[in-house]
Amino acid sequence: MDNVQLEELARQCRRHIVRMIHSAGAGHPGGSLSAIDILVALYANKLRFDVENPDWEDRDRFVMSKGHASPAVYSILHEVGFISEADMMSFRKMGSVCQGHVDMKWTDGVDFSAGSLGMGLSFGLGCALAARMDSSDRDIWVMVGDGEIQEGQFWEAAMAADFHSVGRLNLIVDRNRIQNDDFVEVQMEVGDVAKKLSSFGWDVKEIDGHSMEEVVSAIEWSSNNISSPTAIIAHTTKGKGVSFMENNPSFHGKAPTDEELRLSLEELS
């Protein structure tokens, strides 16, 4: 897809996100909307998978460490054919394949079961080491939120990845600057993430996470670096695309009302 097509696909996924969260009456719109441009570019143009064979051993892996942003994942999984619209709109319903947090036991196309934050990079590191042991060229992509990198486990995994010279491990930091309770700088500022990861031995690129041109270029850059771990620091806006959700901590985990859904879809039309 070209950038214009990717942007339109992202807009469609944003509509899915607000619709499914509204239908469920619960969910996390802010971090889903901030991440979706990157997921669209990754799934549409880079990630190697087979919808007809979701357990294909040599598929690329995507680890959504900030698993509460599951609506972003489900929206793109629907668009590429892993799940139906009915599946997507059953989000958070009893027995649905689309649980509140992504779960690999429930949903085709999901490779990581999330819940507690901070674990995704460790899991991705294990996947990358397994790929190397299997002599496989599968790529591992991990998305984390900037709030969850306050967790010590994240930095242990970052240190281990460099120590073991793990290539094909691609980290994306959704740097939207808001976490569950408030702005990250209020809760516990994480500082210059790019500089910190560089000091841990990672190759790092900072981008505007809503510029499709920059997103596509960064994904290609990261994918081409197979000798060391790479990180894309994507500067994003929480709630991107819906004016009253943007940079609004209250929409970290709140469903839109009927009127807010109407306004959201109007803005995303």
pLDDT in tens, 116-164: 999 999 999 999 999 999 999 999 999 999 999 999 999 999 999 999 9
Cα angle value 109/110/115 (rounded, 5°): 165
Q: Which residues contact 119 (CB under 8 A, 6 or more apart)?
A: 65, 153
For the chain, how many structural domains are there in total?
1
Residue 115: per-residue pLDDT: 87
For residues 170-181, average pLDDT: 96
Q: Which tens digits make up the pLDDT trace of 62-117? A: 999 999 999 999 999 999 999 999 999 999 999 999 999 999 999 999 999 998 99
* CATH number of the domain to which 15 belongs: 3.40.50.970
Q: How far apart are CA 188 and CA 211, in angstroms?
A: 27
Domain that holds residue 113: 3-267
User: How would you list the strands of the sheet with 203-208, edge to edge?
Assistant: 61-64, 140-145, 169-175, 230-235, 203-208
Please check the confidence at residue 170 and state whether its pLDDT lies above 90. yes
pLDDT in tens, 234-252: 999 999 999 999 999 999 9
**Phi, psi (rounded to 5 degrees) for 223:** -65, -30
Q: What is the pLDDT of residue 159?
A: 98
CB atoms within 10 A of CB 104: 14
DSSP reduced 3-state for 203: strand
Looking at the chain, the whole-number percentage of residues with pLDDT higher than 70 is 100
Reply yes or no on whether the pLDDT at 16 is more than 90. Answer: yes
pTM above 0.75, yes or no: yes
19: closest CA among 261, 241, 240?
261
